[in-house]
Amino acid sequence: MKSFREELWFQTEERRDYINITPQIERAVTKSGIREGMALVNAMHITASVYINDDESGLIQDFDEFLEKLAPQGKPYRHHGTGEDNGDAHIKRQLMGREVVVALTNGKLDFGPWEQIFYAEFDGRRKKRVLIKIIGE
Amino acid sequence: MKSFREELWFQTEERRDYINITPQIERAVTKSGIREGMALVNAMHITASVYINDDESGLIQDFDEFLEKLAPQGKPYRHHGTGEDNGDAHIKRQLMGREVVVALTNGKLDFGPWEQIFYAEFDGRRKKRVLIKIIGE
Amino acid sequence: MKSFREELWFQTEERRDYINITPQIERAVTKSGIREGMALVNAMHITASVYINDDESGLIQDFDEFLEKLAPQGKPYRHHGTGEDNGDAHIKRQLMGREVVVALTNGKLDFGPWEQIFYAEFDGRRKKRVLIKIIGE
């Protein structure tokens, strides 16, 4: 069994952002030399998500409005008793998920026609990381 | 390390449907000959989910009503600016998740007493796929 | 490829509870002797979750209030037609997720600074299990 590890770093200008990271994951898969296996891609921070959906700007706005309606920024979350102001971001991240696991077949991400991997930032404007771990042969 | 890949195809009659695919996954596990490892089961489309819960018709209706209340069909989602009418389906899929990863032990799905794998369709009436990828030994 | 399996057992005193199980997962990783690979940690019951977020009591209360608002206990769920009273717990579990997959690097959980693994119980006061399955080398 072979394994491969790489980190991606992000510092968004906005508090919330949605970034298509599929090209970076594809490059990591190629670099790994692994042809059959699984790739785990996860946010290493607990106010960000990695998810798979369509790269369409209207849809991304729909996601953002949906999340903001369910867990609005600026509400007096109990978590703010610690001095933090990002209670909304922790909840948004739970709804969108921490990680994706993607099959590798013939050295490529084994994807349907519209699957794209996104990094979703809910409390940005500082350095944060995504982990890529690939295992297989 | 061995690996195994199979696709399942679906074309539901209704726009939304919930299908127990555990028997198909069990058959794939047997066919793979893999006894210790992990099985990834994921929707290959971005308006459908694979999830694990109980096979009980009342519960499935509870899920459906819950999802329809949070992300109703027919609302003027921004995604519809593309000509699509399935903004609700993209959001429902995010809430129910894209994939499950299941342990394989002694050549079987390593499940608790009530775990069943479901394909959840939120924009059906056309051909869509689920990917099964198994790795192990 | 090596594989390792262990179960954790829980019986909470309250109906809902949130338990940091990171130390148990770390011990399992050490016991497994696996240095590079993936650890799957999943609830074996369908009214409980395994998720990764911060170990902060205010945040945990925020999660609990959020889930209770979206899927309140005691509502007349259709699932209750079976004699069960835990429709809320099935929905809460879907929102928080069934499982996490964590990378193992150099024999350790490959975590960001605040990642902690939680068992979330939504219908407790009886014996329930979590599965740890590790594969790698």
pLDDT digits (tens, 9 = 90+) for C36-85: 999 999 999 999 999 999 999 999 999 999 999 999 999 999 999 999 99
CB C128 within 8 A of CB C15: no
Q: Find the DSSP H helices in chain C.
A: 22-32, 57-70, 87-96
Contacts of C122 (CB under 8 A, 6+ apart): C15, C16, C47, C48, C49, C67, C86, C88, C89, C92, C93
Burial of B30 (0-12, 13-18, 19+ CB in 10 A): exposed
B107 pLDDT band, cuts 50/70/90, is: very high
For C42-67, give one letter per residue: b (16+ CB within 10 A) or e: bbbbbbbbbbbbbebebbbebbbebb
Of B54, B89, B93, B57, nearest in space to B73 by CA = B89
**pLDDT tens-digit readout, C20-44:** 999 999 999 999 999 999 999 999 9
Cα separation, B73 vs B100, whole angstroms: 25
Q: Which residues of C touch A70 (CB under 8 A)?
A: 66, 70
C19 touches chain B (CB under 8 A): no
In degrees, to the nearest 5, what angle opens at C-alpha C33 toward C-alphas A102 and A44?
40
- Token pair, residue C61, equals 């209360």
- Token pair, residue C83, equals 């004699």
Cα separation, A70 vs C6, whole angstroms: 37
**pLDDT tens-digit readout, C100-137:** 999 999 999 999 999 999 999 999 999 999 999 999 99
% of chain A exceeding 70 in pLDDT: 100
**Which domains, ranges and CATH numbers included, belong to chain C?**
2-136 (2.60.120.460)
Mean pLDDT along residues A37-56? 98
The CA distance from A79 to the nearest CA of chain C, in Å, is 4
Please indicate whether, in this complex, the C-beta atoms of B5 and A101 are within 8 angstroms of each other. Answer: no
- Residue C61: what are its φ and ψ, rounded to 5°? -65, -40
Q: Find the DSSP H helices in chain B.
A: 22-32, 57-70, 87-96
Give the relative orientation of helices B57-70 and C87-96 as an angle to the nearest 10 degrees.
60
Interface pTM (ipTM) of the complex?
Answer: 0.98
**pLDDT tens-digit readout, B29-45:** 999 999 999 999 999 99
Please indicate whether, in this complex, the C-beta atoms of B133 and A100 are within 8 angstroms of each other. Answer: no
For residue C26, what is the DSSP state? H
Contacts of B109 (CB under 8 A, 6+ apart): B22, B25, B26, B29, B39, B102, B103, B115
Among B3, B80, B94, beta carbon nearest to A53 = B94
Q: Report the C-alpha dihedral over residues B66, B72, B78, B81, rounded to 10 degrees.
A: 140
* C residues 46-75 lying closer than 8 A (beta carbon) to A: 51-54, 56, 58-59, 61-63, 65-66, 70
The CA distance from C95 to the nearest CA of chain A, in Å, is 6
Mean pLDDT along residues A114-134? 98
Average pLDDT score over chain A: 98
Residue B13: count other Cβ atoms within 10 Å of its Cβ. Answer: 7
**pLDDT tens-digit readout, A73-100:** 999 999 999 999 999 999 999 999 999 9
Burial of B24 (0-12, 13-18, 19+ CB in 10 A): middle
**pLDDT tens-digit readout, B58-75:** 999 999 999 999 999 999
Cα separation, A111 vs C51, whole angstroms: 25
